[in-house]
Structure 1
């Protein structure tokens, strides 16, 4: 169903292909919408599209992935195709995003920041049930620093007797 929505929105949309440019454009989109940059941690993006006239966005990746947001103790699943309608501080009518709650996966349909001063982001299900978390939990996670190289062994002292 997401593919049909994408195809119907393609005309007049900005479409980007290739992992590097897609990652960059997805980050730019989040910044433009005043949403945290770590909200969509999709590493293997193949296509990103944005129809500015309708606010429709899609992200296609090689395969579905799960990501653990360690700061809030939640695991989120992202389908191979993620779609949403975006506006300032909001993504609505989302598809392809689920959060694990206890033993079941819950579909996420909306996410928004009502009051930027409160620094809270709210996620809602299609039934209207919602939960808020600190925005800081979704800031882009920096890559772990590379371990420092081990010191070179000291040269053995020569025995000159």
Structure 2
């Protein structure tokens, strides 16, 4: 599916090897910027096991994101149609392309593709200020809770977005 210049295709096992370096760059960039580490991310972010577990082998709906022929990221969603609820499990864009609107385009694709979802939730580290700007200022999420104590390196922001019903 093409949406605003990006291609979204359902993630397959064969996509993992192409997405590993993209995911590694994205998370390592955050680790340097916000955690004062040279590398870091969720377990398995750098060997493909994260993408295999959550993007391919889970009950998630996952997409590889391409700009032309180039894989630039992925998005992992957990959709509950009965409850009209969605959880954004993961969204990453290659760190070389941050700030060019591709993450926002990916989120707009999600809302366009899943108009039946009334409530979206996600979470992000409390220290990841760039993520806060993206989710809150760009995508319209609100912080609904902070979990994990007062240590900003361990705390997580819980975010929620309620979609208003469209007037016809």
- Sort the TM-score into its range (normalised by shorter chain): 0.3 to 0.5
Find the structure with the greater CA-based Rg.
1
Q: Which has the higher strand share?
A: 1
TM-score where L is the length of structure 2: 0.33
